Structure formats: C-alpha cells, structure tokens
Amino acid sequence: MKRRDFLKLSGLGLTGALTYQHFSALKALKANFHQYHFGKIKSVILLTMAGGPSQIDTFDYKPKLQKLHGKSIKGIISEKNQNGGLIAASPFRFKQYGQSGNWFSEIFPKLSSFSDEITFIKSMTSRSNNHGLSLFDMNSGQILLGLPHLAVWSNYVLGPINNKLPPFVVMLDHRGRPYNGEQNWSCGFLPQQNGACVFNSWPEVLSNLQQSRDLSLMYGLNMENQKWRETFDLAKDLKTHLYDAISLENISDETIKLYGLDQSQSQTFGRELLMAKNLVQKGVRFVQVYSGTSINQTSWDNHENILEHKDRGLEVDTPISGLLSDLKRSGLDKDVLVVFAGEFGKLPVMEENLTQNSSLSGTWGRDHNNQGFTIWLWNSYLRQGLSLGQTDELGFKAIERELSFGDLHATILHLLGIDHINLQYSHQGQVFRLTEKSNRVITEIIS
C-alpha cells in the first residue's frame, strides 16, 4: 500500500493531532507526576458501545422476564417519564458457557468462547439516563461539559510510552459521531499534549500532510516562521510513525478472518480493532473505539426495535473476539486492559404505546436504564470468569455491589499505577478531580 493511498483505503481521516497547538505541545510532552505505585498494565482499549447495549439482551439473563412477558408493571420510570409498561422478555436465546457458567445471548456467539477470561460487572450504574450526560460520566467522571477524559488524566500523570506516537487515539464509528461529539474526548483544563488524535471517516483538510510535497508548499508560505516549520516537521514525523503503527500491509489471511475483515458487516470495526491492537503494541497508552452514533438506527439505542441489537452484534462480535485472541497470542494480555461498556443499559419494559399482543419476536424497543447494567473487562491480572454484582429479577436495578463509573475509573487508574485519591488539578482557584473521594478501587476483580 502506498502512503498516499493509506487514508483512502483505511476509510479514516486524522484530526486532533493535526493542529499547531497539539504538535507544539506534543513536542514538549513529559510526565507531570511520579508514578504512585507499580502499575500492572501499560495500555487500555476502551470499546464504547454508544447508545447503551441492553444488559438483559446481551449478558444478564433474567428467566423471570420470560414468565412475565407482556404483563403490566408500574414503578419503572423511563427517560420520557413513562411509568412502567409491559414487561418485555429478551427475543434472543441465552446460554451458559465455560466453567464459569457466564451467560451470553446469541448475538455474541464468538465472544462467548471467552467466558472464562472475561470479568463481568453486572451492577454498574451511571448518573443520568440521558445519552450526552451519561457519556460525560463514562468518559470524564462527571455529567458536566468540558472536563478531561480519563485518558487525558492518565497521560497527564504518566506521560507517553512512545513519544513518537500520540498518547490517546479515538476511533469513531464510520457512520458518524456519538452524542457530544468531540466533547467526549476533551482535554478540558489539562495540557493539550495529553489529548486525543481522532480517526474520522470523513476527509480532513490537513490529511494532505502525508505527502512531503504538500509540506514543502506549506513551508513556502511560512518560511520565515520557525515555529510553523517545527510544527510541520513534527507533523510529518508523527504521521510517519502513525502510518507505521496502523498500516495494514501484508496481513495474513488468518488475521483477516480472525478480525472479520472478510465479512461486510464486521470489516470496518474489525479494521479499527486491528489498528487498536497495533497502536497499543507500538506504545499508545489509550485507544477508544466507538461502535454506534447519535442516531437510533446506527447505534445500540434501539427504542423501536430491539432486534437491531443483533445487527450491532454482527458488527462487533468477530472483531472483539479476534482482538482478544490477537492480544493473547502476542503476549499483551497482561499489558493491555480491554473494557467493554455503554453509557447505560435498557429497561425491562417495552417502549410506550405497545399492546398486550406483543410477542417475543415483535418489533418493540426499550428505553434507557442507568440504574443497573453490565460492562466487562479483560486482562490476565483480573479474576477471569468472575461475575460481580447483580440486578433484581427483572434486570432493572442493581441490588448487589452497586458500582459507578467513578469506581471503574479508580480501578483503571490503580491498574495503571495511579492513586485516584491523590490525583487532582488546580485551575482558576478550584481543585478538580476525575473521581470522587468516595469512589473505591474494585478490588474484588483484581487477582
């Protein structure tokens, strides 16, 4: 593959890193704090299922829903203030896998083979049942605009693993951006050198930095500006190392099949996860990959038809199982933490305006649920096969070991070697933190 064809064939554009401010700051990048303790992991891949996958249609099997399907219930309040509704059993078949006996629905047939390696948290909660606010909670620990992302905080403390590559890469769904757009990966008040390089699916003006002759033309316009020349030199250097890190040249047929690159529904997400693996292997600390946009039909936010969850599953199941297999065979199962999460889950009742005649295969959907949902993590330092916490018999509310994104952030920081209690930053007379002092490291999941 020629370099000039790289962005075109990969279907990605590059933003975020391609600004004067970012490059100037990246050049001066350095760690700001000492490491508080020895970290178990080096890098994190965040698999973000935008829209919120339904826990009761993926990993949290609730047989009670089958018995009560179509029955009316009150006391479950939706985002639209719908009080209760008709109980809705999952239309998907569930089965237990491995010695752990963890449950997987039929939309994850390949991921189910990792039942004894995945660590489930089935009692996650978020601060809001609104997409935008909950995405802020998941990414930056608060439901406020403009605060730094978890990755930015981490890079601020630890500095880069490889100063030839950006410390944080975000890969967006090729169909569009999630709610909040670029605010999801904000640097906030922290130095910009810790920020994200964003891979888009649409052309970017500065993508022509890949060609040296374009740089020469820019030099010609700015020959008297030393800072601009240094910026373009750094841009060229960074683009070269990025290309080397995520180039998909000479991949084997086995790898193509492993990541689902030979299947139309999974090839885009599969390509992104293969790039994510290459990036963390080369020294990028955080990679966040989005599945889903801000549009119902191209996300996990299936208000009208929960059967669309199966389409999302076909897009991500093979690539995710391929990623885990590839990380393990590459010896990265200890160095890299993989986190699978949406901003919230779904309610165990049908969306409003449906009747008692709805069947298990009917076209009904679910509204948002921030009171109890499932996420999972994967790393050899975790208690693999564990399922921590649980929701009630309908899968509505966490009733055992209720946890928050703040607890998850504290745990990720701990695994990286950072004490979340001491992590803070003073800005304009106010002290900011990623986590609350009440948040705790989830020690039960760490081996």
d(CA 247, CA 320): 19
* Burial class of residue 252, CB neighbours in 10 A (0-12, 13-18, 19+): exposed
Cβ density class 200-229: b for 16+ within 10 Å, e for less: bbeebebbebbeeeebeebeeeeeeeeebe
Query: What distance in Å separates the CA atoms of residue 376 and residue 416, rounded to the nearest whole number?
Result: 18
Least confidently predicted of 17-31, 68-82, 158-172, 382-396: 17-31
Q: What is the pLDDT of residue 221?
A: 42
Determine contact, residues 154/36, Cβ cutoff 8 Å.
Answer: no
Query: What CATH code is carried by the domain that includes residue 166?
Result: 3.40.720.10
Contact 320, 111 (CB under 8 A): yes
For tokens 């992590």, the residue is: 423
Structure tokens at 158: 């630890």
Kindly tell me if the per-residue pLDDT of 433 is higher than 60: yes
Query: pLDDT digit string (tens) for 406-429?
Result: 999 999 999 999 999 999 999 999
User: Alpha carbon of 420 to those of 34, 127, 235, 404: distances in Å?
Assistant: 13, 19, 33, 14
Least confident interval from 213-227, 237-251, 362-376: 213-227
Name 399's Cβ contacts closer than 8 Å, sequence gap at least 6: 123, 372, 390, 391, 392
**Mind listing the pLDDT tens digit for each residue in 23-45?**
444 443 333 444 466 789 999 99
Q: What local confidence, expressed as pLDDT, does residue 31 receive?
A: 39
Q: What is the token pair recorded at 394?
A: 């309908």
Question: Over 80: is that where the pLDDT of 231 sits?
Answer: no
Kindly report, residue by residue over 67-109, the tens digit of the pLDDT.
Answer: 999 999 988 877 766 777 899 999 999 999 999 999 999 999 9
- Boundaries of domain holding 204: 3-445
Check the CA dihedral 227-233-234-235 and report its sign.
positive
Asked if the model's pLDDT at residue 248 lies above 60, the reply is: yes
User: Is the predicted pLDDT of residue 374 greater than 80, yes or no?
Assistant: yes
Q: Beta strands 345-346 and 336-341: pairing type?
A: unpaired
Per-residue pLDDT at 310 exceeds 80: yes
Cα torsion 255, 258, 260, 263: sign: positive
With 0-12 / 13-18 / 19 or more C-beta atoms within 10 angstroms meaning exposed / middle / buried, residue 306 is: buried
Q: Total domain count for the chain?
A: 1
Structure confidence at residue 36 (pLDDT): 60
Q: Are 11 and 198 in contact (CB under 8 A)?
A: no
Q: What are phi and psi of 268, to 5 degrees?
A: -70, -50
For residues 313 and 291, is the Cβ–Cβ distance under 8 A? no
**Residue-wise burial string across 39-53, b where 16 or more C-beta atoms lie within 10 A, e elsewhere:** bbbbbbbbbbbbbbb
Q: What confidence tens digit (pLDDT) does each residue in 125-145 have?
A: 999 999 999 999 999 999 999
Average pLDDT value for residue range 234-248 = 73
d(CA 241, CA 143): 35
Task: Please return the burial class of 9, using the count of CB atoms within 10 Å of its CB with bins 0-12, 13-18 and 19+.
Answer: exposed
| CB-based contacts of 128, cutoff 8 Å, min separation 6 | 134, 137, 143, 344, 370
Supply the mean pLDDT for the chain.
Answer: 85
Give the sign of the dihedral formed by CA 161, CA 162, CA 166, CA 170. negative
pLDDT at 83: 79
What is the reported pLDDT for 362?
A: 59
Q: Is the pLDDT of residue 360 over 80?
A: no
pLDDT in tens, 197-225: 898 753 342 343 344 334 444 444 444 45
pLDDT computed for residue 4 by the predictor: 47
Q: How many CA atoms lie less than 13 Å away from 92 in the CB half-sphere?
A: 26
Name which residue leads in pLDDT, 341 or 297: 341
Q: What pLDDT does 346 receive? A: 97
